[in-house]
Structure 1
Amino acid sequence: MAEAQALADREPTEKEIRLVIGASSAGTIFEWYDFFIYGTLAYILKDAFYDVDNDTLGLLLVWSTFAVGFAFRPIGAILFGFLGDRLGRKYTFLVTVTLMGIATAGVGFIPTVETIGIAAPIIVILLRVLQGLALGGEYGGAAIYVAEHAPPEKRGFYTSFIQASVAGGFVLSIIVVLACRFLIPEDDFVSWGWRVPFLLSILLLVISLWMRLMLSESPVFQAMKEAGETSGNPFVESFTYPGNPKRIFVALFGVTGILTTIWYTAFFSGMSFLRGPMHVADLTVELILLISGLIAMSFYLVIGKWSDRVGRKKPIIIGALATLVLLFPAFWGLGSLANPGLAQAAEETPITISGPECVTDPFADLFDREQTDCGKVLETLTASGVSYTLTESDTLSLNAGGEAIAIDPAWFDSGAARTEGIQGALGEYGYDFSKQQPDTANIIGIIAILLMLGMLSALTYGSVAALLSEMFPPRIRYSSMSIPYHIGAGYLGGFLPLIAGVIVASTGDIYSGLWYTWGVVAFGVLVAWWGLPDGPPRDFADDVAS
């Protein structure tokens, strides 16, 4: 028993701490790179793996497959949380990083839908399942490993490197895509070059394994194992341990629900918004996100260190409340800066459409349902970033500034013909659908808005690894923090691009998808205010009855 206590109390050296943070953070960057590269290349993968004529449906199918990975994160959290609490932190996340690397590299080997038909998206989905399982075990392992090595007074700062590494994975995915763009001609990149970022995962896997094999087991786990205090069934005990059901509820809705929806809105929704309805050039979008992401990574470290002084609750509440106030204005600002001509044309020449059964069905082509002509026009307007007013009528009509636009029957031959026809007709009224290259001042403004969104993410995310580690008892910590984290991140956050996309496609309002984020954050604020402890950080052992 004395030996076990000595293991738990031993202070790691500065060299050991640097190795722990470096190896854990690098592995997290690589693993999240593997996960995010799919989302970063979504605009290409929709054509590589899905044979649909409808661009909106193609993108929704890509986001659906993206969401599949998130759907399996809770299962991975249960599986690897069990192993982490029973067998140890180190070896569990060695397994997760290996599984992730193999699954991601596999996407780079899949033939396109033109070659093997429906087998292509099926294989992609299976690999996304493996990625989701792996990621379900990665975050909890890395966060706990660092937290259990860190001195209590620096736990927020040290674990904030894990949070910054999540953003780092996104940044790395953009760096690799940009490098491929510069080295591979555009047509070749779309044809085959997109596979290179996926295949690079093999190299990243080797580096991750080499770094993590140098690590020793967490001193807290070593002490529990030495004392024979490891849990017999961490999954069951996570829901039966006194006070844990409340803590899991708070961790799910009051912590993860807030952080994950803000994170994906700031980074993924921002990327999709600029690249899609705002028509900003792909290279420009990637450079903007690269600069914003690199700078924003430092925010997580600042907030993590701040939380060591003021507690974990205050930054989360401040960030969540600020998000409720600033979310819509931020995206309105992005729209006006990214494509001012489109915003000006919408104000000067508003679009009105009327007709019978004027509703959109984003999945009509997928399920062989016939969509009305009016619904098809609405879908094209939304995908083009054009806002409109809908009125009831027995006949289909399209008006720009009160002037009728002739509807060509050829528009309904295909999605491409409809997009070309409608955009061409609206171009006569000042609507510019060409690839946009905002001027320098506007780009600076866009980066500033994205940095503000990045700060909101950092406030709600920077201290979370320390907070979740402190909320749960060591014997079931891996399972107890991983389950709510990955249910929240997997469903509330992972399905955000898909849910927001369906809301936008159904309403025709390119900003309406933000209401999903707003609603989740608003509920989360109430839960966090009620359930998170006030005051300076406290380890679980100091307040077992919390």
Structure 2
Amino acid sequence: MATAATTPQTAATARPMTREERKVILASSLGTVFEWYDFYLYGSLATIIGAQFFSAFDVTTRNVFALLAFAAGFLVRPFGAIFFGRIGDLVGRKYTFLVTILIMGFSTFLVGLLPSYAQIGWVAPVVLIALRMLQGLALGGEYGGAAVYVAEHAPVGRRGFYTSFIQITATVGLLLSLVVILVLRTWMGEQGFQTGEGWPIAGWRIPFLLSVVLLGISVWIRLQMHESPAFKKMKEEGTQSKAPLKEAFGQWANVKMVLIALIGLAIGQAVVWYTGQFYALFFIQSILKVDLLTSNVLIAWSLILGTGGFVFFGALSDRIGRKPVILGGCLIAAITYFPLFGMLTSVVSPRLDQALETVKVQVVADPATCGSVFDPVGIRTFTAPCDVARVALARSAVKYELVPAPAGTPMKVTFNGKEAPVAPAVAANITGFTAAAAEAGYPKAGDPTILKVGGFFDALGNAQALKAIGILTILVIYVTMVYGPIAAALVEFFPTRIRYTAMSLPYHIANGWFGGLLPPTAFAMVAATGDIYYGLWYPIVIALVTFVVGLLFVPETKDRDIMTYEGAGVR
């Protein structure tokens, strides 16, 4: 079994970037920003898209289908990683992630042109889901190509710093999509943005159509790039793998390294990333009931303030190692999530924070009549009165306690001892329970104590908003801590001939499945327990698993010479 090749640090590693290296980073990062921009547009506009393409269903069902279509893009990412990773190891890095950006760009552009359900019927949602899956496949191949390409151009001792610019792209892509949407909403008004009333085109389509301009810029830049030196050296020496999939996943020594990379680094990074950027947004909107504009402004400012951490922690990992930075971020996040989200509630919705302590809501029922309400993909239909009531309370962001009652006892819901009427449907109960909760002390819709800002820069003059931005920025810093060095760490895990294939799979399983399904799974945990913070156990447990496994099994790779490293699976 080959040992890890290392190269001693020299003064040359601290030299400034060359013009060619800056061009490599710009070309890779810019294209990846556009890919993430395209991918996040759907998530940011899921509710509107649900109304356009799933209008045959009621509001709750169409939103569920819209989120499932969004999840489809995450679920296929590992398959894109395998497919394009193999091509990247056989054909080359440059041409492979040129193809991925073409697929992503055109599929996003077509979403902007796609007729609605009212115009072409069931064909519309089918084509939409197909386009989402193409986006996910393309993204599965894009990230690995960009990370490998930059890392193989970076000097020894600077890979963490160089690849950290790739890591910024996901956050910048999200930020860019939020900014474009906010500008269009402000300019066109909500009605013009959603339906196009008074305008030649519905505003929600414009961000998708703009992607074709970003695509043109990305392709033009990438066509000027050269193949990575590591790949060229491998081809010249004739050491290229003829079957990268078989070598990467058919030899136990390599499979073991893939599993260690997945569990000991990637899944912890994924849940910390998605908690800090996506679950935080979901928590503010769906649980704290902050309006769309305010929540997007808060997240946008936290991203702006925290994004520099990617480069800082990437560079720090060059000095002290990948392991201490990534695993340290997982541990700190796991320890502090509960207090930070508690502080966020007290700042953003102080009346809700008080109600959680003072208002006692009970679902009193025979345990035999209550089933599991765990529903991470949102497709279950609940009919038992106990389950219907609990789901409705969770969706109303009302904390409840399930109290066992003697067999045969009719189910009832009480607010501070006062019984509330219970309807047979979830939607009707949401209306009734929201009113009962407001009477008992929960904030009403539009409550003046819930944080609200009028615009992007208004937040800077609002003390309540600044406190919320501060908390959210801490969450983003955790993201930068685990995500900044991850590309360098995964690239260094595997030899050149299978690097694209082997490093892409653990990354996209972690981020596509463990991370991408975090918001619905965490909310399902909230619904199942009645505790608005219970969903945080999902990222906390996984981050702690990564900390322990990483501490015991992940090798430190910062000094590894990736040009000569032959990998664990070579005999």
The reply to whether residue 234 of structure 1 matches residue 253 of structure 2 is no
Inter-partner Cα distance in structure 2 for 1:389 and 1:413: 20
User: Which range moved further: 79-88 or 481-490?
Assistant: 481-490
Instruction: Pick one of 246, 259, 270 that aligns with 2:280.
Output: 270
The reply to whether residue 202 of structure 1 matches residue 207 of structure 2 is no
The residue number in structure 1 matching 2:58 is 53
The reply to whether residue 448 of structure 1 matches residue 470 of structure 2 is yes
**How much has 1:175 moved relative to structure 2?**
0.9
Instruction: Pick one of 395, 412, 417 that aligns with 1:402.
Output: 417
* 1:338–1:442 CA contact under 8 A, matched in 2: yes
Q: Which structure 2 residues correspond to residues 64-83 of structure 1 after superposition, within 5 A?
A: 64-83=68-87
Structure 2: where are the runs of 5+ without partners?
Answer: 1-11, 196-201, 454-461
Q: In structure 2, do the counterparts of structure 1 residues 120 and 377 end up closer, same or farther at CA, with 3 Å as the change threshold?
A: farther
The residue number in structure 1 matching 2:166 is 162
**How much has 1:101 moved relative to structure 2?**
0.9
Q: Percent identity?
A: 40
Instruction: Pick one of 505, 511, 534 that aligns with 1:512.
Output: 534
Inter-partner Cα distance in structure 1 for 2:426 and 2:363: 20
* 1:312–1:464 CA contact under 8 A, matched in 2: yes
Q: How many pairs does the alignment contain?
A: 532
**How much has 1:15 moved relative to structure 2?**
1.1
The residue number in structure 1 matching 2:494 is 472
Q: Which amino acid aligns with 1:372?
A: A
* 2:265–2:327 CA contact under 8 A, matched in 1: no
Q: Which structure 2 residues correspond to residues 113-262 of structure 1 after superposition, within 5 A?
A: 113-191=117-195, 192-240=202-250, 243-262=253-272
**How much has 1:31 moved relative to structure 2?**
0.3
The residue number in structure 2 matching 1:379 is 391
Q: Which structure 2 residues correspond to residues 289-308 of structure 1 after superposition, within 5 A?
A: 289-308=299-318
The reply to whether residue 488 of structure 1 matches residue 544 of structure 2 is no
Inter-partner Cα distance in structure 2 for 1:298 and 1:385: 34
Instruction: Pick one of 13, 36, 47 that aligns with 1:32.
Output: 36
SS across alignment from 2:287: coil
The residue number in structure 2 matching 1:525 is 547
The residue number in structure 1 matching 2:485 is 463
SS across alignment from 1:215: coil
* 2:148–2:500 CA contact under 8 A, matched in 1: yes
Q: Which structure 2 residues correspond to residues 304-315 of structure 1 after superposition, within 5 A?
A: 304-315=314-325
The residue number in structure 2 matching 1:4 is none
Inter-partner Cα distance in structure 1 for 2:350 and 2:364: 26
Q: What are the Cα deviations for residues 349-394 of structure 1, in whole angstroms up to 9, with x where unaligned?
A: 2212224534465769987855133332322221121101122342
Inter-partner Cα distance in structure 1 for 2:383 and 2:426: 12
SS across alignment from 1:391: strand
Q: In structure 2, do the counterparts of structure 1 residues 52 and 510 end up closer, same or farther at CA, with 3 Å as the change threshold?
A: farther
The residue number in structure 1 matching 2:342 is 332
Q: Which amino acid aligns with 1:386?
A: V
Inter-partner Cα distance in structure 1 for 2:425 and 2:145: 53
* 2:38–2:105 CA contact under 8 A, matched in 1: yes
Inter-partner Cα distance in structure 1 for 2:376 and 2:255: 41
User: Which range moved further: 166-175 or 396-405?
Assistant: 396-405
Structure 1: where are the runs of 5+ without partners?
Answer: 1-8
* 2:377–2:521 CA contact under 8 A, matched in 1: no
User: Which range moved further: 232-241 or 446-455?
Assistant: 232-241
* 2:362–2:415 CA contact under 8 A, matched in 1: yes
The reply to whether residue 320 of structure 1 matches residue 330 of structure 2 is yes
SS across alignment from 1:181: helix
The residue number in structure 1 matching 2:458 is none
The residue number in structure 1 matching 2:95 is 91
SS across alignment from 1:258: helix
TM-score relative to the length of structure 1 = 0.91
Q: In structure 2, do the counterparts of structure 1 residues 95 and 67 end up closer, same or farther at CA, with 3 Å as the change threshold?
A: same
Q: Which amino acid aligns with 1:228?
A: G
Q: Which amino acid aligns with 2:419?
A: A
Inter-partner Cα distance in structure 2 for 1:391 and 1:283: 38
Inter-partner Cα distance in structure 2 for 1:433 and 1:114: 35
Q: Which amino acid aligns with 1:383?
A: R
* 1:12–1:149 CA contact under 8 A, matched in 2: no
Q: Which amino acid aligns with 1:524?
A: T
Q: Which amino acid aligns with 2:411?
A: L
SS across alignment from 2:440: coil
Inter-partner Cα distance in structure 2 for 1:413 and 1:476: 53
Q: Which amino acid aligns with 2:66?
A: V
User: Which range moved further: 43-52 or 448-457?
Assistant: 43-52
* 1:99–1:130 CA contact under 8 A, matched in 2: yes
The residue number in structure 2 matching 1:423 is 434
Instruction: Pick one of 11, 20, 23 that aligns with 2:24.
Output: 20
* 1:160–1:300 CA contact under 8 A, matched in 2: yes
**How much has 1:113 moved relative to structure 2?**
3.5
**How much has 1:121 moved relative to structure 2?**
2.8
